[in-house]
Amino acid sequence: MTQHYSGKKAAEIVGITYRQLDYWARTDLVRPSVTDAAGSGSRRQYSYRDLLELKVIKSLLDAGIKLESVRSVFEYLREQLGEDIASAQLVISGGTAILVRDDHELVDVLKQGQFVMSGVLSLGGVQREVDDALVELFPTAIPVVAPPAPRAVGEG
């Protein structure tokens, strides 16, 4: 059985007010995918995916991106990613949102998908390449891969 969440619970889970949730639904930012309001006294029902989208919106707002811009971000993401917006990787900094695409490109979603740069280096990919080379060179040895311990502030 799939879990559904009332508007009150959805707002609580995401960390927003019910008033915000109601406004976002009425203005088509995120409408509940399970049951939408159908007049006075009806109850909205949100899915888990809806909760993820709501949390993304809250995170963008918390990062200082204006609601109008958040709407633009979501329009672009829906065009590019379809229904799976919560799977997107966004870099949020200085009031802008940059989409990290699978092909290692950065795209500014607030500037209608303006290309920022390509060639993003995945450090996880670098580690896998080194690990693979170690296994190939030393097939009987078991490499111990541990990242260096973080240093405390002031150490040096």
Helix (H) or strand (E) holding 135: helix 123-137
Q: What is the pTM of this model?
A: 0.62
List per-residue pLDDT tens for the chain, 156 residues long.
Answer: 468 888 899 999 999 999 999 999 989 888 788 666 656 666 888 988 888 888 888 888 888 888 888 888 878 777 877 766 667 777 777 777 777 776 667 778 777 655 555 444 556 666 777 777 778 777 776 655 555 555 555 555
CATH number corresponding to 1-62: 1.10.1660.10
Domain regions of the chain by residue span = 1-62
User: Are the C-beta atoms of 60 and 33 separated by less than 8 Å?
Assistant: no
Residue 64 has φ and ψ, to the nearest 5°, of 95, 10
Distance of alpha carbon 74 from alpha carbon 56, whole angstroms: 10
